[in-house]
Structure 1
Amino acid sequence: MSRERIKRELPPVQEHIDKLRKVIEEGNYYGALQMYKSISARYVTAQRFSEALDILFSGACIELEHGLVNCGADLAILFVDTLVKAKSPCNDETLDRIRCIFKLFPRVPVPPHLVDVSDDEDVQNLQESLGEARSRVENLTSFLRAAIKWSAEFGGPRTGYPELHAMLGDYLYTECPELDMVRISRHFVRAEDPEKFASMLVNFMGRCYPGEDDLAIARAVLMYLSMGNMKDANFMMDEIKKQAETKNPELSESDLIQFISYLLETLQRDALPLFNMLRVKYKSSIDRDQLLNELLDEIAERFYGVQRKNPLQGMFGDIFKMMG
């Protein structure tokens, strides 16, 4: 059948949307999922992308509203794939749809009574709860990573639309059972919201193990600096200090935090010898995390033109590229 004939024979899209909504309301969630996929594919084949997007957006929202995260995520990812096929520009209308889908992903904290497990049933319940949380995070991550990549390719900033990074960073921080602060920070430094990033780090200071807080702050500052973003690095550090004055716990006075403070001052002038001296003096603190050394090498190259001896050390930037 020719594409033109398919194009003529396809009914108005609202008929499909109404029909599929009824299928879901009758409880046939997975059957509806397959129908959403097959029907939207017909519109894509006919290059009626706008209508295919209407179907997929409706399906993702309805499935998520009914608590079917896997089904909703499948359609959400297919929605973004169709944006790419249609070469849809990154604009407010499409971003609003992505926001709507994002808000429908559930936020379900681990029940407090499951944290202190005392018998086999509690252990099983906790394992199930954690497994569901991991699945939600993986689904949301796949959707937003695809959206970030689409936004970068079709009119947004080179590293992706900042708000999408903020959405993903926030969800990872609040919903992921095992916090990965490096991963979270990589998104927040792209989010263009250092005040929110500072608030998240202050919150982390109150829930992390001893010695993790200063590392998280140092990584965040160095990530900003490795991008040449002195303004947000300084703003975030000042905001952390300000917020920490009114909340517990207080900001750590560790050697690593001292190093970060001196570094921010040093980078405001042409002072490569002082930069190198600081790295030597605080080597034991910096060596607590190899990523700090990699970021400092990138900072030296960006601010002082120092070429890295090992070209593989540019992994941080490469990771950002892979993230989309």
Structure 2
Amino acid sequence: MEMHSYDGIKRVLLKLENSINNGYYYEAHQIYRTLYFRYLGQKKYLELIQLLYSGSLRLLQCGQHTSGADLGILLIDVLKKSEIEPSQTYFQKIVDLFSLMTPSSPERQTFVQKAVRWSTIGSIFKTGHPNFHQKLAQVYWHEKNYTSARQHFLYTKDGSGCALMLIELHQQQGYSNEMDLFITQTVLQYLCLKNKSTADEAFKSFINKHPKIKGGPPFLLPLLNFSFFLLKTIESGQVTIFTILCEQYLSSLTKDPSFLQYIDKIGQLFFNIQPRQNSNRGLLNSFLQSFFDGLEDENNENRTMNTLTSHLISDFD
């Protein structure tokens, strides 16, 4: 009985090979799906994974994007059903297929969403494994899809790679006086994800490798100084310095409406600052009040700023 079944599979595989070689891709796709159900019923997961990977790869390479993506989606389903733990080997196989799929296709989006969810299995990374996100970010970056690349970089530990992507993005799409906005947003978002080490790496790589940034600290652009001091202040854990720092750079932080929301969250995560009662604005209200109070005496504000800068530099040198 087993020999008969083996001979049957062998004949189907031979027919599959002939279909692909002769360009009968629809027929080949249907054969792959037939084998999928047969192998799945027999719980031959490893054989099925290899079959679906090679099938998806071949169809995608032949320009059969919908059929190839369909087999790729089935592959992710099998990885989940088989309870195979995520690994670098499978991450690479998935990215191999992902990079060949049509960027704008809904099948590709379904594929990557399922793959990211699968990458969380057996790990503490509930938003997807950092190594997998890093590989996806590189593909999006290569495609010049900076928005998606940046989103995936935020869930990695690759601060240096993220910084290089941001530098390229700024040089191609940003204004010269906006470079501090690019990196500050990323630093704040990494910190909101409690990924301080990657925030630090991204900032250092950005200021060291951006051709328009010469020297520092101090830097010419205020938000670069803010990011530098913020990272140092988090290391020190000094809530008073954190509060003063945010107050003094408030006018620069309001360039992006989201920055103050990030600051509010960072205050809660790293300095145990509670949001204000009866307000969802948290630190924002405090910062605004302090800012407007400070406007009453511009000279006093300048003196305070100089004192703060001197104090921080002496503390963190």
Q: Is the 8 A contact 2:12 2:31 kept in 1?
A: no
Larger radius of gyration: 2
The equivalent residue for 1:207 is 172
Q: 1:300 to 1:199 in 2, by over 3 A?
A: same
Structure 1 residue 166 corresponds to structure 2 residue 134: yes
- The DSSP-based 3-state class of the residue aligned with 1:134 is coil
Map 1:161-310; keep pairs closer than 5 Å.
161-175=129-143, 179-180=146-147, 183-210=148-175, 212-244=178-210, 247=211, 249-250=212-213, 253-308=220-275
* Cα distance between partner residues in 1 of 2:220 and 2:49: 52
Q: What code does the residue aligned with 1:94 have? A: Y
Q: TM-score, normalised by structure 2?
A: 0.74
Structure 1 residue 23 corresponds to structure 2 residue 19: yes
Tell me the CA shift for residue 170 of structure 1. 2.1
Q: 1:158 to 1:12 in 2, by over 3 A?
A: farther
* Cα distance between partner residues in 2 of 1:19 and 1:212: 59
Tell me the CA shift for residue 236 of structure 1. 1.8
Tell me the CA shift for residue 83 of structure 1. 0.8
* Cα distance between partner residues in 1 of 2:189 and 2:62: 39
* Cα distance between partner residues in 2 of 1:236 and 1:25: 48
Q: 1:189 to 1:12 in 2, by over 3 A?
A: farther
Map 1:102-121; keep pairs closer than 5 Å.
102=98, 105=100
Q: Is the 8 A contact 1:57 1:75 kept in 2?
A: yes
The equivalent residue for 1:144 is 112
Q: What code does the residue aligned with 1:61 have? A: L
Q: How big is each residue's C-alpha offset from its partner over 1:12-53, in whole Å with a ceiling of 9 and x where there is no partner?
A: 766544432332232222332233223202221232222222
Q: What code does the residue aligned with 1:134 have? A: S
Q: Is the 8 A contact 2:29 2:67 kept in 1?
A: yes
The equivalent residue for 1:115 is none
Q: How big is each residue's C-alpha offset from its partner over 1:201-234, in whole Å with a ceiling of 9 and x where there is no partner?
A: 1212211221553322112111222233322222
Runs of 5+ unmatched residues, structure 1: 107-131, 314-324
How many residues get paired? 275
- The DSSP-based 3-state class of the residue aligned with 2:86 is coil
- What fraction of aligned residue pairs are identical, expressed as a percent? 26
Q: Is the 8 A contact 1:186 1:223 kept in 2?
A: no
* Cα distance between partner residues in 2 of 1:308 and 1:286: 19
Q: 1:272 to 1:64 in 2, by over 3 A?
A: same
Which has the higher mean CA deviation after the structures are superposed, 201-210 or 270-279?
270-279
Q: How big is each residue's C-alpha offset from its partner over 1:282-317, in whole Å with a ceiling of 9 and x where there is no partner?
A: 23332333332332222111111123458989xxxx
Q: Is the 8 A contact 1:90 1:156 kept in 2?
A: no
Which structure is higher in RCO with an 8 Å CA cutoff and minimum separation 6? 1
Q: 1:207 to 1:9 in 2, by over 3 A?
A: same
* Cα distance between partner residues in 2 of 1:187 and 1:223: 12
Q: 1:173 to 1:92 in 2, by over 3 A?
A: closer
Q: Is the 8 A contact 1:57 1:79 kept in 2?
A: yes
* Cα distance between partner residues in 1 of 2:103 and 2:60: 15
Q: 1:284 to 1:15 in 2, by over 3 A?
A: farther
The equivalent residue for 2:311 is none
Residue of structure 2 aligned with 1:55, choices 51, 54, 57: 51
